[in-house]
Amino acid sequence: MPSSDWFLTDTLLVGAQPVTGHVGITGKLCDWEMARDLVNQSHIPVIPAGGLSPENVAEGLRFTQPDGADTCTATNLLDESGKPIGFRKDLEKVRRFV
């Protein structure tokens, strides 16, 4: 019996996570080769996450051939210093991502 409905890949940073209480959400690109291997071997959907942005999502989708794509950090609004504001979306970036 399956224990999950889908896989979500991401990038783990060893040590403190950038967002307290969450694993991932690093803004760092996930390993596309690993994601592609998972897509090819899995019987459940695979959704790459980890560093996908409006600038690289098309390439990532072509390379991995997944069932979807996830974005967080790269489509967030930025504060005055250019740092992403957690969980506040920049709708223009989201539009370009889609």
Q: Spell out the residues 6+ positions from residue 94 whose beta carbon is closer than 8 angstroms to its own.
A: 71, 75
Query: Higher pLDDT residue, 65 or 22?
Result: 65
Contacts of 16 (CB under 8 A, 6+ apart): none
* Spans of all domains in the chain: 7-70
18-41 pLDDT, tens digit each: 666 656 666 778 889 999 999 999
Report, as an integer, the average pLDDT of 56-62: 96
**pLDDT band for position 93 (cuts 50, 70, 90):** very high
Q: What is the pTM of this model?
A: 0.79
Strands 7-8 and 84-89: unpaired
Give burial (CB, 10 Å; 0-12/13-18/19+) of 52: buried
